[in-house]
Amino acid sequence: MDSSPLPFFLILAPFLIQASCFHFNFSSFQLDNISQLILSPDSNIALDAIQVTAEARGASLDSMQNQSGRTLYNKRFRLWKGNGNRTIASFNTTFVLNIQNQTSPGGEGLAFIITGNSSVPDNSEGRWLGIVNSDTNGTSEAEIVAVEFDTRMSDDRDLDGNHIGFNINSINSVTPVSLSDFGFNISQGLDLRVLLQYDGENLTVRVNDTLVLSEPVDLSSYLPEEVFIGFSASTGDEVQLNCVKSWWFSGTDIGEDENLWWVWIVIPAVILMMLTVVLVCYLYRRRDTIDDDMEGARGNIEDEINRSGFGPKKFGFKELKQATANFSSKNKLGQGGFGTVYKGSWRNKDIAIKRVSKKSNQGKQEFIAEVTTIGNLNHKNLVKLIGWCYERRELLLVYEYMPNGSLDKFIFCNEKASTVECSTLNWEQRLTIIQGVAQALEYLHNGCQKRVLHRDIKSSNIMLDSDYIAKLGDFGLARTIQEKEKTYYSTVEIAGTPGYMAPETFLISRATIETDVYSFGVLVLEVVCGRKPGNQGEQKNYNNSIVNWLWEFYKNGKITAAVDSRMEADFVETEAERVLVLGLACCHPNPHYRPCMRTVLQVLSGEADPPEVPQERPSFVWPAMPPSFSHMDYSLRGSQLTPFTDLTGR
Ligand SMILES: *[C@@H]1O[C@H](CO)[C@@H](O)[C@H](O)[C@H]1NC(C)=O
Ligand SMILES: *[C@@H]1O[C@H](CO)[C@@H](O)[C@H](O)[C@H]1NC(C)=O
Ligand SMILES: *[C@@H]1O[C@H](CO)[C@@H](O)[C@H](O)[C@H]1NC(C)=O
Ligand SMILES: *[C@@H]1O[C@H](CO)[C@@H](O)[C@H](O)[C@H]1NC(C)=O
Ligand SMILES: *[C@@H]1O[C@H](CO)[C@@H](O)[C@H](O)[C@H]1NC(C)=O
Ligand SMILES: *[C@@H]1O[C@H](CO)[C@@H](O)[C@H](O)[C@H]1NC(C)=O
Ligand SMILES: *[C@@H]1O[C@H](CO)[C@@H](O)[C@H](O)[C@H]1NC(C)=O
Ligand SMILES: *[C@@H]1O[C@H](CO)[C@@H](O)[C@H](O)[C@H]1NC(C)=O
Ligand SMILES: *[C@@H]1O[C@H](CO)[C@@H](O)[C@H](O)[C@H]1NC(C)=O
Ligand SMILES: *[C@@H]1O[C@H](CO)[C@@H](O)[C@H](O)[C@H]1NC(C)=O
Ligand SMILES: *[C@@H]1O[C@H](CO)[C@@H](O)[C@H](O)[C@H]1NC(C)=O
């Protein structure tokens, strides 16, 4: 079939887009909205809002210090056009701000910005509000106009710690106005509904319907024809949450001559008809080319694995097919989220082969994650990856074979699924398993070249070798962190297994060392108690979880009564108590109070006592306060977090 309609459509497409007017309305901010925004590294989306400077997210407040962030709408707005007499666009925008100090006093403030440059300037933290830095302040190079909501009197030129101002290429305002005069306090933590209007001559700002600023300005003399719009904010030593909760914008479109408008109504109609033809044509061709695409994808996978600079063996598909007797169901060991695992025999050695499900697109990412993370690691408590294969659109992973299978089979065996080995794990074996997993995690967090977060610690991902030594496996969700100092991985997807996920996981979009520790804590409790983590599927309900269940035993002073009865009381009581308390400490609702894996190992080996754990399970409070702020009065914030001494050595 002739492919000429496609290029024709592409030529007309830009006209179609220009015909739409510049308008958007975010009634709240969700992770899905990220694609419509440009977020600088210090900005993110959390708690249904833009956090123009990142919030603590389970890390310490230090991580909020000295940040400068920008969040912009990802399309440019045409502000003016013409050479002699310029046509200047007008716009109205409404946004809801919420600024809450996290220290006293709080951070620096937030600004609505219109700028030619989407990148946040270097060294624009602290008093610079992410608007300019000491080099660009006062120069036209900055290309920025801002309405600042300043919450800090950072130098003598500032009016006070609660003002709004209009800034042109500078951190100092043309006309600062104290909001205290109008009875508003920016950093009080209340919502401020700001309406900003520009009619081509005057810029006016209303806060909660009160007119607070009106300033004549010709924006076209400071800004390029096409501009980015959005927000910037900064923190210094003192920090605050700089949230934008909603944002609506509407601007006039001065893109083309007005008398051309009717053409855009006719053309789309014509195009719509052609589009149908093109779509059919495209789909038709796509079917032919899909195999070529897969060849391309194969190149990518190989490239990505090679780039990681190491070499588990690359297997041929035929080799693996032979090893598993054509993936015979007799050799099937299990079925996971991303594929099926088979037992195989290769060079007289037993191997386990995971065949990633062809359909899941997810599978490919998991595959690369797994090969590039564990392929590089070597630890006696990690399942060893022997090789991989990508051929004929099949993704396969080859591991050492674990004769005893996965841990969950041993600890949750009920009558129905009773296997031969059921209930044979004794206290010593359980302790060794916990120690093994702890060692593996400590190695991932602190011991290897790059820090690795596993993100999916659970009993079905722990394999047992012939001596019941635990080996952590399934690195499909694992992520490496390039810089060793960093303790989190930003992610847009919430990943993990319900029941093992720390409560803050649903609020933050970062995997942290602490969320791994939480899952480890749940694992410890289930191994000792022989009980499922509970509330599977009911993601947001923590009340029935094993953690709550055990905390009740602890509160009543008989924690060892929770130990798996199948051990028939054949365990060392003091050891069991120690391990259970450690497990609870790892599951502390406040991530700051969870011990790090190094401390966990010390407790398990008897070198250190378990961290102190409150008798009553603390409520989950967000944002979580780090121990160093425990002298503060929490009652003011409606929190029930009881401060206690931190013994975790972090
Ligand atoms: C933002 O994301 C939410 C959730 O997916 C969606 O409903 C909403 O339409 C998005 N907002 C905009 C302006 O696209
Ligand atoms: C923006 O969207 C929200 C929710 O859909 C709606 O309530 C609000 O009126 C809209 N705002 C404007 C200015 O259209
Ligand atoms: C933040 O910047 C100030 C001034 O440059 C510096 O004294 C302080 O140590 C910095 N704080 C952090 C956590 O980097
Ligand atoms: C620009 O505007 C001035 C005053 O409105 C008018 O006298 C002049 O003719 C205009 N110039 C052009 C090129 O349109
Ligand atoms: C902005 O709002 C005013 C009324 O408050 C209206 O007259 C004007 O047309 C609006 N401008 C745009 C671009 O929506
Ligand atoms: C915010 O500031 C107020 C007054 O300065 C102070 O009482 C409050 O404790 C601060 N909030 C936090 C979380 O530090
Ligand atoms: C935009 O800002 C960045 C960071 O300050 C700077 O490196 C870059 O040169 C600027 N780009 C332009 C076109 O000015
Ligand atoms: C920033 O630039 C303006 C304009 O040149 C100047 O008045 C002001 O003192 C500068 N501010 C700082 C903090 O250097
Ligand atoms: C502004 O108005 C909102 C309701 O629209 C209200 O919740 C908020 O408290 C007001 N802010 C201030 C500072 O009065
Ligand atoms: C605004 O509220 C904050 C926090 O409650 C407080 O620290 C600050 O003193 C208040 N500022 C003014 C000008 O009232
Ligand atoms: C802008 O403000 C000035 C003075 O405040 C006023 O004279 C003028 O009419 C205003 N222009 C528009 C377009 O509203």
Least reliable range by pLDDT among 20-24, 285-289, 477-481: 285-289
pLDDT digits (tens, 9 = 90+) for 172-202: 998 899 999 999 999 888 999 999 999 999 9
Which one has a higher pLDDT value, 234 or 362?
234
Q: Residues with Cβ within 6 A of ligand 11? A: 199, 201-202, 216
Closest C-alpha to ligand 4, atom 12: 85
Tokens of 227: 């501009």
Q: Please tell me if the CB atom of residue 101 comes closer than 6 angstroms to any atom of ligand 6.
A: yes
Domain with CATH 1.10.510.10 in the chain: 409-647
Distance 100 CA to ligand 9 centre (A): 14
Q: Is pLDDT above 70 for 14?
A: no
Contact predicate 527/434, CB 8 Å: yes
Q: Is pLDDT above 50 for 638?
A: no
pLDDT attached to residue 490? 64
Kindly state the average pLDDT of the residues 68-74: 93
Give CA–CA dist 156/141, Å, rounded.
25
Q: Please name which of 490, 496, 538, 492 lies closest in space to residue 510, comparing C-alpha atoms.
A: 490
The class of domain 22-252 in CATH terms is mainly beta
Distance 83 CA to ligand 4 centre (A): 11
* Domain spanning 313-400: CATH superfamily: Phosphorylase Kinase; domain 1 (3.30.200.20)
Q: Provide the pLDDT confidence category of residue 16 given band limits of 50, 70 and 90.
A: very low
Q: Please tell me if the CB atom of residue 109 comes closer than 6 angstroms to any atom of ligand 5.
A: no
Q: Please tell me if the CB atom of residue 517 comes closer than 6 angstroms to any atom of ligand 9.
A: no
Closest C-alpha to ligand 6, atom 9: 104
Burial class (CB in 10 A: 0-12, 13-18, 19+), 357: middle
Closest C-alpha to ligand 10, atom 6: 188
Least reliable range by pLDDT among 186-195, 447-456, 463-472: 447-456
pLDDT attached to residue 30? 87
Q: Provide the pLDDT confidence category of residue 448 given band limits of 50, 70 and 90.
A: confident
Give CA–CA dist 402/398, Å, rounded.
12
pLDDT attached to residue 292? 41
Least reliable range by pLDDT among 26-30, 227-231, 416-420, 471-475: 416-420
Q: Residues with Cβ within 6 A of ligand 4? A: 84-85
- Scan for tokens 């006309």, then name that residue: 175
On the question of a cis peptide bond just before residue 533, with omega within 30 degrees of 0, the verdict is: no
Q: Provide the pLDDT confidence category of residue 493 given band limits of 50, 70 and 90.
A: low
Kindly state the average pLDDT of the residues 539-560: 79
List of residues 6+ apart from 346 with CB closer than 8 A: 319, 323, 398
Closest C-alpha to ligand 7, atom 1: 117
Nearest-ligand number for the alpha carbon of 188:
10
Percent of the chain with pLDDT over 90: 37
Nearest-ligand number for the alpha carbon of 204:
11
Q: Provide the pLDDT confidence category of residue 2 given band limits of 50, 70 and 90.
A: very low
Percent of the chain with pLDDT over 70: 78
pLDDT attached to residue 469? 93
Name the residue type at position 397: L
Tokens of 623: 């944002």
Active site residue 456: yes
- For 390-421, letters b (16+ CB in 10 Å) and e give beeeebbbbbbbbebbbbbbbbbbeeeeeeee
Q: Provide the pLDDT confidence category of residue 71 given band limits of 50, 70 and 90.
A: very high
Nearest-ligand number for the alpha carbon of 95:
2
pLDDT attached to residue 527? 93
- Scan for tokens 């694995």, then name that residue: 305
Nearest ligand 10 atom, CA 186: 1
Q: Please tell me if the CB atom of residue 105 comes closer than 6 angstroms to any atom of ligand 6.
A: yes
List of residues 6+ apart from 235 with CB closer than 8 A: 53, 64, 65, 66, 67, 68, 107, 108, 125, 126, 242
pLDDT attached to residue 65? 84
pTM above 0.85, yes or no: no
Distance 192 CA to ligand 9 centre (A): 6
354 is in an annotated binding site: yes
Give CA–CA dist 611/579, Å, rounded.
11
Q: Provide the pLDDT confidence category of residue 636 given band limits of 50, 70 and 90.
A: very low
**Coil, helix or strand at residue 440:** helix
pLDDT attached to residue 623? 72
**Coil, helix or strand at residue 22:** strand
Nearest ligand 6 atom, CA 625: 13
**DSSP-assigned letters across all residues of 516-570:** HHHHHHHHHHHHHHT-----TT-TT--TTSHHHHHHHHHHTT-GGGGS-GGGTT-
Domain with CATH 3.30.200.20 in the chain: 313-400
C-alpha distances in Å from residue 341, one per residue of 293, 327, 460: 27, 9, 13
Closest C-alpha to ligand 7, atom 4: 121
Q: Where are the beta strands (DSSP E) in 152-280?
A: 163-168, 177-178, 188-198, 202-207, 210-216, 226-234, 240-251
Least reliable range by pLDDT among 168-177, 196-205, 280-289, 441-450: 280-289
pLDDT attached to residue 247? 97
List of residues 6+ apart from 145 with CB closer than 8 A: 113, 114, 115, 166, 167, 168, 169, 217, 219, 222, 223
- Scan for tokens 């400071």, then name that residue: 222
Q: Please tell me if the CB atom of residue 180 comes closer than 6 angstroms to any atom of ligand 10.
A: yes
pLDDT digits (tens, 9 = 90+) for 376-409: 788 899 998 888 888 877 888 898 999 888 898 8
Question: Average model confidence (pLDDT) for the chain?
Answer: 80
Domain with CATH 2.60.120.200 in the chain: 22-252
- Scan for tokens 């219109």, then name that residue: 114
Q: Is pLDDT above 70 for 421?
A: no
Q: Please tell me if the CB atom of residue 25 comes closer than 6 angstroms to any atom of ligand 2.
A: yes
pLDDT attached to residue 271? 86
Least reliable range by pLDDT among 113-127, 216-230, 322-336, 595-609: 322-336
What is 409-647's CATH topology? Transferase(Phosphotransferase); domain 1 (1.10.510)
List of residues 6+ apart from 388 with CB closer than 8 A: 305, 312, 313, 314, 315, 367, 371, 375, 395, 396, 397, 398
pLDDT attached to residue 602? 94
Least reliable range by pLDDT among 1-5, 174-178, 480-484, 621-625: 1-5
Closest C-alpha to ligand 6, atom 10: 104
Closest C-alpha to ligand 4, atom 7: 85
CA 42 to chain centre: 13
Contact predicate 198/215, CB 8 Å: no
Contact predicate 644/627, CB 8 Å: no
Nearest-ligand number for the alpha carbon of 118:
7
545: how many CB neighbours lie within 10 A of its CB?
23
pLDDT attached to residue 306? 64
Nearest ligand 9 atom, CA 188: 13
Point out the catalytic residue in the list 42, 158, 456, 474.
456
Q: Please name which of 53, 59, 55, 61 lies closest in space to residue 628, comparing C-alpha atoms.
A: 61
Kindly state the average pLDDT of the residues 30-44: 86
Q: Is pLDDT above 50 for 637?
A: no
Distance 198 CA to ligand 5 centre (A): 9
Q: Is pLDDT above 80 for 514?
A: yes
Distance 179 CA to ligand 6 centre (A): 19
